[in-house]
């Protein structure tokens, strides 16, 4: 077995305890923010740092397929918000009874309140038709842009900025609102700004939409479906589940 | 305009300077590792922390669609490596001349050397056919699993662990090697372990496969294609491009 439950000697490439805790703090206190945006301006040096964090995401074949559209104008935000409203009416109809009532009570975006909108895209043809690492898994370029999104989100959290992913749009309607050409793939639209609070838990967990899954049930060993209660990792996963809540 | 170039008063939710720098250190020093794996065991408490980091990624409708298969057995690694070799021969053929020669000289995976393999998946049916936030953008669940990957990668970096994404596989062949059912979507296979070094730059940048793109050319304002040399962000992006290299 390649794992040990003995404490490891501190690895030379590991961060210090306080640095490591800062990374985990960003990961665990990041929220999908929809309701707490403040009008406080976002300084350009902060925005530059978080965009560079996104740009330093991994990308398949180093193709860096992303673009970032910074939305500040009220008219553009209004067009984006209209696209959301239209899609949200359609989406609500998919749920029945109490579930639809709960859905309609949720605030799912902060498009007009957030000082900045950011649209992230993927240019699948950027470096030509053949991309190192994409031949057998053609969605790898889309996934590269998503890695950029997660870097952006964590960097924003460290800067004290909330970010929310709005996915309730017909992609075509949003692409039109932002003049994105057809050959470019929309990845997501994000609301960004300082916030009055970061909630302790995801909103959907708090309102009882779905519970947090126990991680130990999602981890298999060697092949799909194989749990191992005797593996030392399983106990560690359970303990940390209890700590993190 | 919602941005200012004046230094902002420190926001109450912002991390301290040293915590913020730790987050950026993880982001900027993370590498896609293929060649520097050490046999040193990975302690289970470390593995538990990085898997929990992945599990605390954002997910559409809080569906948490991911699973993690921990691969430690030499036979399974050998099957996975065979799947890579087969796909890599096919992939090399896609490049011509010098480019193919350069491709063949690259080490693109550490499947057999890395003490741990992790396969990340997406169970698109986990919470039923209708998912909050997925109705209009059906790939959102796949993107949730990718956000989990990026959390895993950054947490691993903070722990001193290298990680590499191997995407040169026929998904069907890899799914068979790991007994992943057809209704589950493979996201990626990752090599994980302590390393002798983290390189300063991506391998593909170092060998001249592709250059790092200047970020200022990838940022638009208000709509697709609109650059703005006079926007204060543009200068900040260029300056930081020069600092980060």
Q: Which domains does chain A have, with CATH numbers?
A: 31-210 (3.40.109.10), 213-245 (no CATH)
Is residue B8 predicted with pLDDT exceeding 90?
no
Chain A contact for B96, CB < 8 A? no
Residue B103: both structure tokens together = 């491709």
- Name the band, by pLDDT with cuts 50, 70 and 90, for residue A7: very low
- pLDDT per residue over B204-229, tens digit each? 999 999 999 999 999 999 999 999 99
C-alpha B93, offset from chain centre: 25
| Residue of B213, B7, B189, B182 lying closest to B83 (CA atoms) | B189
Q: Cβ contacts of residue A161 below 8 Å, gap of 6+?
A: A42, A46, A50, A192, A193, A194, A195, B11
Chain A contact for B134, CB < 8 A? yes
3-state secondary structure of A32: strand
Q: What does pTM read for this prediction?
A: 0.96
Q: Cβ contacts of residue B116 below 8 Å, gap of 6+?
A: A2, A3, B42, B47, B70, B71, B72, B191, B192, B193
SS3 string, A105-163, reads HCCCCCCCCCCEEEEEEECCCCCCCCCCCCCCCCCHHHHHHHHHHHHHHHHHHHCCEEE
Pick among A6, A17, A23, A192 to test the B interface (most B CBs inside 10 A): A23
Residue B202: both structure tokens together = 């991506």
Chain A segment 98-117 residues within 8 A of B by beta carbon are 103, 106, 108, 115-116
Pick among B14, B23, B31, B61 to test the A interface (most A CBs inside 10 A): B23
- pLDDT per residue over A212-224, tens digit each? 999 999 999 999 9
Q: What phi and psi, each to the nearest 5 degrees, are found at residue A74? A: -60, -35
pLDDT (mean) for A69-97: 97
CA angle A77, A148, B92 (to 5 degrees): 130
Shortest CA gap B237–chain A (Å) = 5
b (16+ CB within 10 A) / e for B53-90? bbbbbbbbbbbbbbbbbbbbeeebbebbbebbeebbee
Question: Tokens 């053929």 belong to which residue?
Answer: B93
* Contacts with A134 from chain B: Cβ below 8 Å: 167
Q: What is the pLDDT of residue B84?
A: 98
Alpha carbons B20 and A245: distance in angstroms, whole number: 25
Alpha carbons A229 and A7: distance in angstroms, whole number: 21
Is residue B2 predicted with pLDDT exceeding 90?
no
* Contacts with B136 from chain A: Cβ below 8 Å: 87, 90-91, 167-171
The lowest-confidence range among A189-193, A238-242, B80-84, B129-133 is A238-242
Is residue A180 predicted with pLDDT exceeding 90?
yes
- ipTM higher than 0.85? yes
Contact A210 B62 (CB under 8 A): yes
* Contacts with B2 from chain A: Cβ below 8 Å: 39, 41-42, 72, 115-116
Chain A segment 20-39 residues within 8 A of B by beta carbon are 20, 22-28, 30, 32, 39
| Residue of B123, B38, B200, B58 lying closest to A203 (CA atoms) | B58
Is residue B7 predicted with pLDDT exceeding 80?
no
Q: What is the pLDDT of residue B245?
A: 76
Contact A187 B103 (CB under 8 A): no
Alpha carbons A144 and A146: distance in angstroms, whole number: 5
Q: What is the pLDDT of residue A30?
A: 98
**Which residue in chain A is spatially nearest to B208 when comparing CA positions?**
A62
Q: What is the pLDDT of residue B9?
A: 52
Is residue A174 predicted with pLDDT exceeding 90?
yes
| Residue of B197, B66, B46, B196 lying closest to A2 (CA atoms) | B46
Contact B136 A60 (CB under 8 A): no
Find the helix or strand (DSSP H, E) in which A87 lies. Answer: helix A74-92
Q: Cβ contacts of residue B235 below 8 Å, gap of 6+?
A: none
The lowest-confidence range among A234-243, B48-57, B110-119, B178-187 is A234-243
Q: What phi and psi, each to the nearest 5 degrees, are found at residue A31? A: -130, 155
pLDDT (mean) for A31-60: 97
Query: What does the radius of gyration of chain A's CA atoms come to, in whole angstroms?
Result: 20
Write the Ramachandran bin of B62: left for phi over 0, alpha for psi from -120 to 50, otherwise beta: left
Residue A152: both structure tokens together = 């952006």
pLDDT (mean) for A191-205: 97
Is residue B4 predicted with pLDDT exceeding 70?
no
- Name the band, by pLDDT with cuts 50, 70 and 90, for residue A245: confident
How far does chain B reach from its first CA to its final CA, in angstroms? 30
- pLDDT per residue over B76-115, tens digit each? 999 999 999 999 999 999 999 999 999 999 999 999 999 9
Q: Strands B66-71 and A161-166, how do they pair? A: unpaired
Contact A42 B1 (CB under 8 A): no
């Amino acid at each position: 077995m390649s794992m040990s439950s003995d404490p490891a000697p501190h690895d030379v490439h590991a961060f210090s305890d306080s640095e490591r805790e800062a990374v985990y703090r960003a990961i665990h206190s990041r929220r999908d923010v929809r309701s707490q945006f403040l009008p406080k301006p976002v300084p350009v040096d902060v925005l530059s740092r978080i965009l560079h964090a996104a740009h330093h995401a991994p990308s398949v074949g180093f193709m860096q397929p992303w673009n970032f559209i910074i939305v500040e104008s009220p008219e553009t935000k209004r067009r984006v918000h209209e696209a959301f409203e239209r899609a949200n009416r359609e989406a609500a109809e998919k749920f029945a009874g109490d579930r639809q009532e709960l859905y309609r009570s949720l605030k799912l975006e902060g498009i007009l309140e957030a000082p900045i909108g950011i649209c992230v895209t993927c240019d699948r043809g950027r470096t030509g038709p053949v991309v190192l690492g994409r031949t057998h898994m053609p969605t790898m370029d889309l996934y590269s842009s998503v890695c950029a999104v997660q870097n952006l989100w964590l960097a924003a959290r460290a800067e004290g900025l909330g970010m929310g992913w709005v996915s309730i749009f017909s992609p075509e309607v949003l692409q039109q609102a932002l003049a994105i050409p057809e050959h470019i793939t929309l990845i997501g639209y994000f609301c960004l700004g300082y916030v009055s609070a970061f909630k302790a838990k995801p909103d959907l967990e708090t309102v009882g939409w779905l519970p947090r899954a126990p991680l130990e049930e999602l981890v298999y060993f060697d092949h799909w479906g194989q749990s191992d209660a005797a593996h030392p990792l399983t106990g560690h996963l359970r303990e940390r589940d209890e700590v993190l809540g």
